[in-house]
């Protein structure tokens, strides 16, 4: 489903997933037809809907601040954050690589719930302050909204501390297992199994509530609550299962050296070659998406289709490869003995789709994203 960028925070793009609008409408509808009229009777339907929409926005702002808490600590440990996405289940910060240590993993995980608890405490303090000032109708809406936000943030913090991966509590559990067993991937698999168990428990409890509401043993209004619990259980189970599979694949990549996956037939382009010659004699002739650039047998950079396309075709005959290539850097070069997982992380950090494999100063191969993807697809099969 599509998503849209709505701004930036801490330098991180903030996006809204299409599913967010469904939850926003449901939250606004629930507040404006149930919670608000019961807590603050006597207002017009239009005002209830307006207050419900404002409350829903503030609720999602709380979720955003929760994710920014994770992101702030991650940035402290120099972990790039690709974006934060608000979607049907709240929000998620997309980190480009894993935490460097159990301590970092623990601090990143607890930062989100800590922010939620701080927001919840601040809301309750504001409610107490408002109640001591006056109890007139003018502040009743503020008091009611403060109570709602306080309760939701405390519940958000507590829910995320459930020790089932990929919830924050599951990441705390993974940090502990990682510190104890000294094996990140094994800790991830173990924490994911706990996540699977909690997902199954949530699903079972939700089904029991739905059955009770249908049979009349519970109020009919509990049916929707049971349905949401089942939905959350299914999401947690699926996310934990995907995390466990990903951990197995990443562990495989951590045990395979680059020399077993790299392309050994490497074609390089001379630095003084014009773009016109590069396109006709290399890109079209070989069909590769990028080539190392050599100057007197010395690696000086990498040129890909993107760099060529950045120059108008009319200028290809006058522009040389060395003028548009990506200059060589430590992030571009890797040795054949390094595990493939390091190449994956370096590509994510640097925005590369391929790395040049160098040994004793000589180019001996290329490792590409497509080769790694094909490997993962074969392993899944």
Residue 234 and residue 340 in one domain: no
Residue 207 and residue 300 in one domain: no
DSSP code of 315?
G
For residue 318, tell me if it sits in a domain.
yes
| Positions in the chain whose pLDDT score sits under 50 | 137
Residue 345 and residue 324 in one domain: yes
Residue 237 and residue 361 in one domain: no
Which two structure tokens, joined as six digits, stand for 197?
């168990």
Structural domain of residue 101, as residue ranges?
1-161
Residue 220 and residue 181 in one domain: yes
What pLDDT does 176 receive?
93
Which residue, of 204, 221, 255, is where some domain finishes? 255
pTM of the model: 0.71
SS3 content of the chain, % helix, strand, coil (to 5): 65, 15, 20
Residue 12 and residue 147 in one domain: yes
What pLDDT does 172 receive?
92
CB 107 within 8 A of CB 73: yes
Which residue, of 130, 161, 192, is where some domain finishes? 161
For residue 170, tell me if it sits in a domain.
no
Q: How many domains are there within the chain?
A: 3
What pLDDT does 361 receive?
77
Residue 190 and residue 230 in one domain: yes
What pLDDT does 102 receive?
92
For residue 168, tell me if it sits in a domain.
no
Task: Compute the half-sphere exposure of residue 246: CA atoms within 13 Å on the CB side of its CA.
Answer: 13
Residue 242 and residue 130 in one domain: no
Which residue, of 223, 255, 287, is where some domain finishes? 255
CATH number (domain holding residue 294): 3.10.580.10
């Amino acid at each position: 489903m599509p998503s849209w960028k709505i701004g930036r925070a801490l330098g991180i793009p903030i996006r809204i997933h299409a599913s967010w609008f469904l939850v926003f409408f449901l939250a606004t509808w629930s507040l404006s037809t149930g919670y608000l009229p019961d807590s603050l009777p006597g207002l017009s339907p239009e005002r209830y809907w307006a207050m419900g929409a404002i409350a829903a926005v503030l609720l999602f702002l709380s979720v955003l601040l929760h994710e920014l808490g994770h992101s702030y600590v991650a940035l402290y440990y120099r972990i790039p954050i690709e974006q934060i996405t608000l979607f049907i289940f709240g929000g998620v910060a997309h980190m480009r690589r894993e935490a460097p240590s159990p301590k970092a993993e623990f601090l990143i995980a607890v930062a989100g719930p800590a922010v939620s608890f701080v927001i919840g405490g601040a809301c309750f303090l504001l409610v107490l302050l408002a109640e001591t000032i006056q109890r007139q109708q003018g502040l009743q809406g503020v008091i009611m909204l403060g109570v709602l936000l306080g309760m939701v943030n405390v519940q958000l913090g507590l829910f995320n501390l459930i020790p089932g991966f990929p919830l924050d509590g599951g990441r705390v559990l993974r940090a502990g297992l990682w510190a104890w067993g000294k094996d990140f991937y094994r800790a991830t698999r173990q924490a994911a199994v706990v996540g699977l168990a909690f997902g199954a428990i949530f699903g079972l409890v939700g089904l029991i509530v739905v059955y009770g509401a249908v049979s009349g043993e519970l109020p009919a209004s509990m049916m929707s609550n049971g349905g949401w619990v089942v939905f959350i259980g299914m999401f947690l189970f699926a996310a934990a299962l995907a995390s466990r599979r990903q951990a197995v694949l990443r562990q495989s990549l951590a045990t395979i050296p680059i020399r077993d996956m790299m392309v050994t037939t490497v074609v390089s382009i001379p630095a003084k070659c014009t773009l016109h010659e590069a396109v006709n004699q290399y890109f079209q002739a070989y069909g590769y998406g990028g080539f190392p650039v050599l100057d007197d047998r010395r690696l000086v950079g990498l040129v890909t289709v993107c760099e060529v396309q950045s120059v108008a075709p009319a200028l290809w005959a006058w522009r040389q490869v060395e003028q548009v290539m990506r200059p060589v850097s430590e992030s571009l070069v890797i040795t054949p003995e390094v595990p493939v997982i390091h190449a994956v992380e370096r590509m994510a950090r640097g925005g590369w789709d391929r790395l040049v494999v160098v040994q004793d100063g000589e180019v001996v191969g290329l490792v590409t994203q497509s080769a790694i993807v094909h490997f993962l697809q074969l392993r899944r099969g």
